[in-house]
Each structure stands twice: as structure tokens, then as C-alpha cells.
Structure 1
Amino acid sequence: MSNLIDGIRKNSFVVFGRAGMDMFADPVGAKAETAETFRSDLGGSSANICAGLCKLGAQSALVTSVSDDAVGRFCTNRLNHYGVDTQYLKVLGGEYRISLAVYESVIEDFQLVIYRNNAVDFQVTNEDVDRVDYGAYGAMITAGTVFAAEPSRGSTFRAFENARAAGLPVIFDIDYRPYSWPSPEVAADVLSRAGAQSDLIVGNDEEFGFMAGGIEKGMDKARELAAKPGRIVIYKMGEQGAVTFADGQEIRTGIYPVTALKPNGAGDSFMAGLLAGIAEGRDLRDAVLRGSACASIVVSQPGCAPAMPTPAQLEAFLSSHPGPTHS
């Protein structure tokens, strides 16, 4: 586990996966189908993790492809706004498109519409990942969506090999999105392969259950993955908190209850808060709780990247908020 923790403590991350544009109905409570005004900002799971890390004082670089159009340039501009290193962004012309998410700040009957036509982020190649200077970073992060199609599936597994050769630990957010995959069977096989090659695995009960072939088997799958020495597995259970498996221990943590405006963005913010906490030298339980606090902050505000907290906002939340609950 020391290689993993030491890598994270360098506080510099190379992140693989998509960026996208979020459009969320304004004001809070407006339904997307009747809204006349939308706010825009950065979205996409990996881009959100990058922005969250930068806002918490880490360094992050995103490796992906963006479309050669106004929306692709919008996303690049917003990545730069949040301080994300964009040197590994490849701009692709033609009919490839960056993803677009339309949603609302409403919990009841929440609607999220994602446009993934000719998704440009799947076009990351071996050549793209070989351009990365892995030695400049402490750890590699990927979200599971990159594995849903070729060529990014193969190129990200190649990036795993490159990271290993450079001594970098691999951090994997399962992030299973059924609509991106050709079939559940392919997804279960590929995501399990990725998990087997990772040092830190984060997912929710449904994602581990999916990899195991049934939600009731998810916890056992997490334990099985955590049996490899040096690996940390975090099994998230929503309102029930999380279980962290590390060095034969099972660390149970609760959540920070908030009035949620929306469900999305929590996982990305959790990852950023967790890694920033470890990078600061905090113990694993404290780092997981900081991740949970970041998740609560994001679901209680509009948007994803703009809702990610700064260190001052995180400290203010922790000092003024009851919790965490006991799982």
C-alpha cells in the first residue's frame, strides 16, 4: 500500500476519460423540459475529478480527445479556468462530438439526458497515451467509461502498462454507465479486467454487484479485490455510507446528510476529496470522510465542476455541519 499512498502524496495526477459540457436548468427547481434558461459549465466524470482536485490544491492533467467545434473549445476553456493541464487534449475534426449533459437541480423525478453521438473521447489512441510523461505524476486515475469502446479501451489498458513501467499506482473509478457499452456482459468482463490491474478501486454497491453478477455479491467482490496486498477498495453505499477495505481492515464510515438538489457529481467529488485528503497526509478514514463531505457539498448545489469545494469551503462545511452519520 505504501507505493499507492506515496504516489498519491505527490499530489499530481494524470487522468484519463471524458470531458463534456453540462447544461443545467436555471433557477433551482426548474424542470429541464420547461426551462427557458440554462447555465453551462464543465462536465464529464474525469474532467470533474480533475477540476475537483485542482480546486483542492492538487495538480491534474486530463488525457482525452475533444471535438473541433465551439462545444469542444468551451470544455477546453473551462478546464483551463479550473487550472487543469490541457497539454494532452487532442482536437479531432469531422463528425466526432464531445458529450453534452442536460439536467436539472431537482431530486424528485430527476432527469439527466446525455448526448454521446459519435463520442470523441472514445477516439484516444495508443499514440496519444504514449505521449504522456508519466514520470511527471504521482498516480494515474481513470473512470470506467473509457473502457466502453475502442480505441480508448485498448489505449487505456496500454496507459496502465505505461503507468506501471513508470512506477505509478493506478486509481480506478468504476463509473459504470450502461448506455455507453455494447452489452452488460462485455462491460462486466472489461471492468473486472481493469479492476484486477488497479491499486485503488472506488465504486458503489450497484457497480461492484454488476461486476460480480448480482448486487448481493458486490460486497464479496470488493473483499476479493481487496485481498491483493497493497490494494485499497472503497465500496460506497449511498446513504448507508461506505466500507473501505485496506490491509485486511474494514473501515466503515457514514455520510454528511444534506438537502440534495440533484444526485449527479457526487462520485467525482468524492474521488477528488479522498485523494486530496490522502495527499495531505491524513489517515484513510479521515480521507474517506472528506470525500464524503465533498460529495454532500456537490449534490446540495447546482452543477458539478462549479460545485466542487475549495479547501476553505470544505473546512467551513466540516466545521458547521453535523455528521458524519454512523453507518
Structure 2
Amino acid sequence: MTQRAFELITFGGSSIDLYSQNIGADFVDIKGFDAFVGGSPLNIAVGTARLGAQATLLTGVGHDKIGDFILHFLEKQNVNTSAIPRIEGARTSAVVLGIEPPDRFPLVYYRDNCADSQVTIDHVIAANIPQYKVLEVSGTALNIEPSRSAVFYAIETAYDNAVDVVLDIDFRADQWKDLRSFGLMVRAILPKVKIAIGTEEEILAATLQDAKQVQIKHQQISAPEIKGNIDESIQRILQSGPKVLIVKRGAKGASIHLKDGSVTEVPGFPVDILNVLGAGDAFASGFIYGYLQEWDLYKCCRMGNASGAWVVQKPGCANDMPYYDELMAFVAQRGGL
């Protein structure tokens, strides 16, 4: 990996996350919420920083107390916030979540005029992406201008300067006016992406032909049911550019798919589930940490699986990402990496 001044910059959403205090209660019976921070790129930045990597977050927050809340948390986590502009006239994003384990996690997003969607090409230029080893981007940032063009510019800049691009496919169905446009945007950037990461549902969404393939039950925006041929979708994504596609498979672990057709299954770390939201981001943080250490892909995925397993046992996302020593102790008790 090319020597750079800094290791990782993540680009995309940030929010205040309000999670139900009443575990197992139906949404209408929730009595209170705990305040955390969230957004996939924010979670990944915090996760990699807690493991020991240098992490910078490129996002936007408003001139509001929620923006203060997020920046204060990030600074305590040693995440570099110098690339986070305050966006005039916009609000910091918010998410409300019900927690009904093992399989119901209804979500409500508040993203109208949200600050992280107002990140521009000028903000990307100011972030100085060529100084990093890895740029990680979120598919959700492609849903609206000006952040869409900013993502394209960031990826082009990274590609032209030999910065490895990692795409978290990150499908949020309610953020797209036409669900098919999600795949169009993702496929447009894939030629400059080195590693793509997604669940089976996200991979199917990236190759979606008909909106009727998508069904959302119990307002589980982050976990829709999507019909399609997963093997065909995997091949289509690999043919579009990435050298590596990592498929997150929950408790089963992950699978590594390469352009030459080879597939490697990487077992997970089965645990009791409290909250699945944030597990994918934890996987990405563990994987990227290993990648920055120049581990092989199998070991990177094992690290990702361990981090994801840690987080699904916890109520929060970024707030509950593991630190290196505690994650290594968790792994050691379960057979190692």
C-alpha cells in the first residue's frame, strides 16, 4: 500500500440516533429514547479509530446543538473532524429506532434538508483526499445533489491519486424517489472502486430492475426483502470494476468474491442479538482496520465479523464500537482470527 500522511477518510452521513429505551416494546409503546450518534461513515470512522487507525470523517452538520453533540463525540473518539463543515441553512440529520429483538428494528429517518447531503465538491477539495491511503464512501450519499456530485468527485480524485476506494453499498430504500436509480448511481462509480462491501439485499438493490422486487416490512428501512438472483448480481458488480466484493452474511460470516470467480467463505462469530443496526458498519470498520494493516482478505473479514458480532450484542452503533484490546479478547475466546 502506498505510503500516505494519513490512513482513512470516510465520506457520507452523520446523525443523532434516538434508540428505544424499552427493549422489546412495540414502537407505539416506547416511553423514552437514548441519544447516540450514527450514520454509516461516522460509525466506520469511530470503529476504525477505536481499533487504533487514523480516521477522518467528511460529512456535514448544521449550525445547531445536534451538530455540537456529534462533533463533541467525535473529538472524544479521536476522529479527525477538520473536514466537517457547518452547513448554513441545513439541519443535522436524525434517526429514531425501535428495538424488538431478534428481528424487528423499525426505523424513521429525518433527512429533509439534512446537512450531510449539502457537502459539495469544494468541501471535498478542502479535505485533501490524496493524502489518505483509503477513501470509504457510502451509497446513500449518492441519493441527492450536491452530495452526489461530491461523491463522484471524491472517488475520481482518489482513483487518480492511487487512493484505494472502498464502497459500502448502504441501501436505504426510503431515501430514493425511484429505487432503480440507486443501482444506476452505484454502478456508475464501480469502475473506480477497488473493494465493494454489502449485504445480499444491498447487492440485489445495486442491480435492481423493478421496484416491485423490494418489500419493506415493519418499517425496517435498513433491512428490506429484495427478490433476485444473488449470484448473477454478484457477477454483474464484479464485472463493473471492483477487484473484490465482500458479501456480509450476518451470523454466517462473510464471503470474499474476486474477479477470477474464486469465492472464500469466512465464518462468523455467533452471538445473541440485541440490535442489528450498526453491525454492517462495525464489519466495515474491522475489515478496513485489517486492510490498513495489510492483512490478507480472510483475516480482514474475520476481524470484520468479530466487530459486527460485538456490536449486535449492544444497543448502540458508534457508541458501542469495540476497542482493540477488548475485541482481541473476544476473538481469543472464540478461536482467534
* TM surpasses 0.5: yes
Segment drifting more, 276-285 vs 149-158 = 276-285
Aligned to 1:274: 287
User: In structure 1, how many angstroms separate the alpha carbons of the residues matched to 2:336 and 2:101?
Assistant: 22
What aligned pairs does 1:236-251 form with structure 2 within 5 A after superposition?
236-246=248-258, 248=260, 249-251=262-264
Please report the RMSD computed on the Cα atoms of aligned residues, expressed in angstroms: 2.3
**Which amino acid in structure 2 is aligned with residue 242 of structure 1?**
A
User: In structure 1, how many angstroms separate the alpha carbons of the residues matched to 2:59 and 2:332?
Assistant: 37
1:177 lines up with 2:172 in the alignment: yes
User: In structure 1, how many angstroms separate the alpha carbons of the residues matched to 2:139 and 2:242?
Assistant: 21
Q: Deviations over 1:171-230 (max 9, x none)?
A: 100001011112112111111112232110001111111222364333233234335787
Aligned to 1:98: 92
Question: Given the alignment, which residue of 132, 136, 143 partners 2:131?
Answer: 136
Aligned to 1:21: 16
Aligned to 1:320: 333
Aligned to 1:3: none
Report the CA distance between 1:242 and its aligned residue: 2.1
**Which amino acid in structure 2 is aligned with residue 238 of structure 1?**
G
Q: Residues 198 and 281 of structure 1: is their aligned pair in 2 closer, same or farther, counting only changes over 3 Å?
A: closer
Q: Residues 216 and 75 of structure 1: is their aligned pair in 2 closer, same or farther, counting only changes over 3 Å?
A: same
1:198 lines up with 2:193 in the alignment: yes
User: In structure 2, how many angstroms separate the alpha carbons of the residues matched to 1:179 and 1:263?
Assistant: 19
User: In structure 2, how many angstroms separate the alpha carbons of the residues matched to 1:226 and 1:70?
Assistant: 42
User: In structure 2, how many angstroms separate the alpha carbons of the residues matched to 1:318 and 1:27?
Assistant: 30
Q: Residues 174 and 103 of structure 1: is their aligned pair in 2 closer, same or farther, counting only changes over 3 Å?
A: same
Contact 1:188 1:210 in 2 (8 A): yes
Report the CA distance between 1:11 and its aligned residue: 7.0
Aligned to 1:120: 115
Report the CA distance between 1:27 and its aligned residue: 5.7
Q: Deviations over 1:81-132 (max 9, x none)?
A: 11111111110232x2221112244315332222112121111111111112
Give the number of aligned pairs. 318
Give the structure-2-normalised TM-score.
0.87
Give the structure-1-normalised TM-score.
0.90
What aligned pairs does 1:225-240 form with structure 2 within 5 A after superposition?
225-227=237-239, 231-240=243-252
Identity %, equivalent residues = 29
Aligned to 2:58: 63
1:290 lines up with 2:284 in the alignment: no
User: In structure 2, how many angstroms separate the alpha carbons of the residues matched to 1:177 and 1:8?
Assistant: 35
Aligned to 2:29: 34
Gaps of 5+ in 2: 214-226
Report the CA distance between 1:167 and its aligned residue: 1.6
Q: Deviations over 1:24-66 (max 9, x none)?
A: 2226445554344432221111100000010010111111110
Q: State the secondary structure of the residue aligned to 1:182.
A: coil
Q: State the secondary structure of the residue aligned to 1:202.
A: strand
Contact 2:124 2:150 in 1 (8 A): yes
Q: Residues 254 and 81 of structure 1: is their aligned pair in 2 closer, same or farther, counting only changes over 3 Å?
A: same
Contact 2:307 2:322 in 1 (8 A): yes
Q: State the secondary structure of the residue aligned to 1:156.
A: helix
User: In structure 2, how many angstroms separate the alpha carbons of the residues matched to 1:7 and 1:33?
Assistant: 52
Contact 2:129 2:154 in 1 (8 A): no
